[in-house]
Amino acid sequence: MVQLQRFWSRLSVSRKLGFILTSVVLLLALFAGTLLVTAATALSRDVYLPSNLQAIHNLLTTPAVTRALMENPDSAKETLRAATRYPLVAVIGLYRPDGSLYAGFSHSSEDAVPDRLTHARQQQPLNDALLEPVNMLSGTQPWHLYISAVSTLPPVFYQRMILATLLLFGCFIGLVLLSMQLTRRNITRPVQHLIKTARRIPKEGCYAQRAKISSEDELGDLCRSFNHMLDHIQARDRQLTSIKAYLNAIIDSMPSAIVAVDKDYNITRWNREAAAMTNTPRHQALQKPLQDMLTFIEPCMPAIAEAFSDHAIHQEQKVAATLQGNATYLDITIYPMSGPAGDDVVIRIDDVTRRLKMEEIMVQSEKMMSVGGLAAGMAHEINNPLGAIIQGIQTVQRRLSLDLEANREVADALELDLQTVNQYLQQRGITRFIGNIQDAGIRASSIVSNMLQFSRSSDRRLQPCNLTELVERTIEIASTDFELRPELDFHQLKITCDLDTTLPPIYCIQAEIQQVLLNLLKNAAQAIQQRSGTETDIAYQGLITITTRKIGERVMISVEDNGAGMSEDIKKRIFEPFYTTKDVGMGTGLGLSVSYFIITNNHKGSMFVSSQSGQGSCFTLKLPMGTTAAPSRL
C-alpha cells in the first residue's frame, strides 16, 4: 500500500487525471452496458415477449386455424409444430374442456408439454407463458391454449447487445482520449510550461524569462501572476545587482587590501588590491585558508582570534612581509563585521613601505639641510681668511714689482738692487711659489663661492639660468670632490663636454639641478671605479660625457659613462627610494630617487636611464623651457 502511494505520488498531474478519467469512463461504460442489457432483457421479457405470445394466440384462434385443429389430434399437432417455428415459442399445447391434452408440441425434452390443464395453469403467472381459453365449437365449453416462451433470449440478441456494448465502450474510450488530449493541451501543457520556466530561472539565473499565456482562464491568470512576480523579482534583482556591483566597486577601488574571513579562517572576501598585492586572483583565494593565502599574517592570528571573541578593533603596525620578492611593511587593521554577516572578521592591509621611506627621506632631507646650512656657515668663515691670503699675495707681488716708483725709492734708500732681488726670487722659485699660492687661493675661493651658491636653496622660484655655465660649475665642484675622495681617483677619469653654447637660458632652480648633476657624476665615477676593478684591459680609460641639446620646447641633458652598467632588474628599481647596489656605508639609496623627484615634480620634466651590463649607462634629463612654478620641496 505504501509503495502504491509512493508510485501514485510520483505520477504527473496529467497521468493522474488521465488515469482517473479513464477509470471513471470505463466504470460508466460498464454500468451503462450492464444497464442496457438489463433494460433490453426486461423490456423483451415484460413487453415484447407477452405481446408476441398474444399474437401467436390470436393467430391460432382464428376460425380457419381452429377448424384445422379440430380435424384430428395429428393434424392439430402439425399445426402447433408450425407455430413453434417462431424462435420465441418453446412449448405449445391445446387442452380439452375436461383439462386433458388434445395436442401439443415442444422443441426439447427439457421443456415438455404439461399433460394436464392444471399443470399448465401453474405456469400462467410467468411472463414467458400464456394460457387463454379458446372457443373451438360454439355452444361447447371452452378449450384452452397454452403457449410457453423460450427461457433464454436468442443468441442474436446477445450478439447485438455485445456489439452495442463494444460500440458504447469505443465511444467512451474515444471520449476519454479526446478529453485527455484537451486536458493535455489546455491544462497539462500550460502547467508543464510554467513548471519548466520556474525551474529554468534559478538554474540559469536569468529572471528575464516569462511564462507564455495561452488562455484567458484560471491558468492564464496564474501565468500572469507568475510573470508579474518575475517582474518584481527581476527589478529587485537588478537593484540588488546594482547595489552589489556598486559596493564591490567601492571595495575594489580602495587602495587598501580588504580580506574577510569566517570563523574557520576561510576567506569570504578578496578585493582587487588584495589580488594585486599577493598576485592571486579572487577565484583562487575565496574559501581558501587565510594563512595559506597570506603567509605574513601569522603574527596577527592572535589578534584575529580576539576580534572574533571580543568584537573589538585590533591594529598591527609595520608588519614586515615579503610580497612578490620585495621587502614590504604593512599596517594591518582587524575589525569584526557588523550587520547580518556579523560572524565574519574584516582585515584591512595597507602597504606603508613608501610612506615609511618618504618619512626617512624627509628625515634625511632635514639632515642634509642642516649639513648644508653648516657647510654654508663654514664657507663664509673660510672665505674671509682666503680673501686675506689672496690679498696678501697680491700685495707681495705689487711690492716686488719694478714698475712701482715707491718700490724703487725704498730699494735705492737701502742701496738694494731691486732687479737683482727679483732675479734671486725667480732663480730660487720663490716667484713661482707665490704664483702657486695665489692660484690655489683663487681656486679655493671659487670652490667656496660655488658651495655657497649650491647651498642657497631657500629661494624656490624658477629663475633663468645659463645651462652651459651651470654644467661647468658643477664639473668643477665634482672634480674637487673626486680629488678629496680616495675611492674616486680623478686622475683615472676623463670628463668630456659636448655642450650647446647657443642654448637660451632655461628656467630652473640652479641648486637643485646642480644636486642632480652631482649625483649623476658621482654615480658615473663609482660605476667606472667598479668596472676598472674587474677590467682586464690595461688600456681601459674611464670616460664621462656630458651633452646638452635643445629638442623642441625642451632641453636635454645627458650624463653617459662607460662604467659597469646595470642589469634589467636593477634598472627597473633604480629610482626607488633606499634601493642601492653599493656596499654598506657607500650609499643610502636616496640620490637617484631624490634626483627623479626634483626633475619630475619640481621641474615638470622627465628622467630615464638606458644601460647595458658591462658597457655603461646613460642618464637623460629633459627640462621644459617655460616658467612653471615649482612646488615646495619635501
Tell me: the pLDDT tens digits for 463-508? 888 999 999 888 887 776 655 455 555 556 788 899 988 888 888 8
- 254-351: CATH topology is Beta-Lactamase (3.30.450)
Torsion of CA 320, 323, 328, 331, to 10 degrees: -70
How many CB atoms within 10 Å of residue 173?
14
Helix ranges (H only) for 428-466 are: 430-455
Q: How many CB atoms lie within 10 A of CB 561?
A: 26
- Which residue has better confidence, 322 or 379? 322
DSSP bridge pairs for 609: 619
- 269 CB burial (10 A radius; 0-12, 13-18, 19+): buried
pLDDT at 87: 67
In this predicted model, what pLDDT tens digit does every residue of 104-136 receive, in sequence order?
A: 877 666 667 777 877 767 765 555 677 777 777
Q: 570 versus 343: which is more confidently predicted?
A: 570
* 531 pLDDT tier (thresholds 50, 70, 90): confident
- C-alpha cell, 177: 482520449
For the chain, the domains span 254-351, 353-456, 462-634
The rounded percent of the chain whose pLDDT value lies above 70 is 80
Q: Read off the amino acid at residue 297.
A: I
pLDDT at 110: 63
Q: Chain centroid to CA 158: how far?
A: 79
Confidence at residue 555, expressed as pLDDT on a 0 to 100 scale: 93
Average pLDDT over residues 582-605: 73
Quick check: 273 and 255 in contact, CB under 8 A? yes
DSSP 100: B
Report residue 557's pLDDT band, with 50, 70 and 90 as the boundaries: very high
More confident residue, 621 or 323: 621
Q: Is the pLDDT of residue 456 over 70?
A: no
Bridging pattern class, strands 554-561 and 89-95: unpaired
- For residue 532, what are the CA distances in angstroms to 96, 109, 521, 525, 564? 168, 150, 16, 10, 8
Return the amino acid letter for 146: Y
Q: What values do phi and psi take at 295, rounded to 5? A: -70, -25
Half-sphere exposure of 397 (CA within 13 A, CB side): 15
In this structure, are residues 287 and 267 in contact, taking their beta carbons and an 8 Å threshold?
yes
Any long-range contacts for 263-266 (C-beta under 8 Å, 24+ apart)?
A: 263/308, 263/343, 265/289, 265/290, 265/291, 265/304, 266/290
CA angle 70, 76, 78 (to 5 degrees): 155
pLDDT tens string 394-428: 888 888 787 888 888 888 888 788 888 888 888 88
Q: Is 253 exposed, middle or buried (0-12, 13-18, 19+ CB in 10 A)?
A: exposed
For residue 385, give the C-alpha cell: 681668511
**CA 102/CA 117 separation, integer angstroms:** 10
Q: Quick one: pLDDT band at residue 545, thresholds 50, 70, 90? A: very high
Q: 542-551 and 493-498: which strand pairing?
A: parallel
Q: Identify which has the larger pLDDT, 294 or 214.
A: 294
Answer yes or no: is pLDDT of 459 > 60.
no
Positions of E strands within 47-142: 89-95, 101-106, 129-134
Round the CA-based radius of gyration of the chain to a whole number and report it: 65
Q: How many CB atoms lie within 10 A of CB 598?
A: 24
Pure H helices in 268-404: 272-278, 282-285, 290-293, 301-310, 353-399
CA distance 127 to 511: 145
Burial category of 74 from C-beta neighbours within 10 Å (exposed 0-12, middle 13-18, buried 19 and up): exposed
CA 552 to chain centre: 47
CA distance 434 to 394: 9
Spatial distance between the Cα atoms of 238 and 241, rounded to a whole number of angstroms: 5
Which of 111, 106, 69, 65 lies closest to 85 in space, CA to CA?
Answer: 106
pLDDT per residue as tens digits for the range 151-160: 566 666 667 7
Across the chain, mean pLDDT equals 78
Question: Is residue 4 pLDDT above 50, yes or no?
Answer: yes
| Cβ–Cβ < 8 Å for 632, 598 | no
pLDDT range class, residue 235, cuts 50, 70, 90: confident
Please give the CATH number for the structural domain made up of 462-634.
3.30.565.10
Q: State the greatest distance between any 2 C-alpha atoms of the chain, in Å, as a whole number.
A: 232
| For range 612-628, the mean pLDDT | 84
Residue 549: predicted pLDDT:
92
Strand order in the sheet with 257-261: 267-270, 257-261, 345-351, 326-336, 314-323
User: Lowest mean pLDDT: which of 164-168, 254-258, 413-417, 480-484?
Assistant: 480-484
DSSP letter for 86, please.
Answer: S
Q: Which residue has the cell 511564462?
A: 211
Backbone angles phi, psi at 259, to 5 degrees: -130, 130
d(CA 511, CA 598): 11
φ/ψ of 538, rounded to 5, equals -70, -15
Residues 55-81 have a mean pLDDT of 78
537: confidence class by pLDDT, cuts 50, 70, 90: low
575 close to 606: Cβ distance less than 8 angstroms: no
Q: What's residue 589's pLDDT?
A: 60
pLDDT for 629: 46
pLDDT band at 222 (very low <50, low <70, confident <90, very high): confident
- Give the pLDDT band of residue 438 (cuts 50, 70, 90): confident
Lowest mean pLDDT among 182-191, 217-226, 373-382: 373-382
pLDDT attached to residue 585: 45
CA dihedral 368, 372, 378, 379 (to 10 degrees): 140
Q: What is the 3-state secondary structure (H, E, C) of 499-518?
A: CCCCCCCEEECHHHHHHHHH
How do residues 303-334 score in pLDDT, each as one tens digit?
888 888 888 888 888 888 888 777 888 999 99
* Cβ atoms of residues 507 and 464 within 8 Å: yes
Q: With residue 19 as reference, give the H or E element that holds it.
A: helix 13-43
Q: If DSSP states are collapsed to H, E and C, what string results for 526-575?
A: HHHHHHHCCCCCCCCCEEEEEEEEEECCEEEEEEEECCCCCCHHHHHHCC
The yes-or-no verdict on residue 602 having pLDDT over 70 is yes
Distances (CA, A) of 613 to 25, 151, 464, 575: 99, 130, 38, 17
Average pLDDT over residues 268-297: 88
- Pairing state of beta strands 257-261 and 143-149? unpaired
Report the percent of the chain where pLDDT is more than 90: 6
Could you tell me which residue, 204 or 295, shows the higher pLDDT?
Answer: 295
pLDDT higher than threshold 90 for residue 93: no
- Cα distance between residue 222 and residue 209, in whole Å: 15
Q: What is the pTM of this model?
A: 0.41
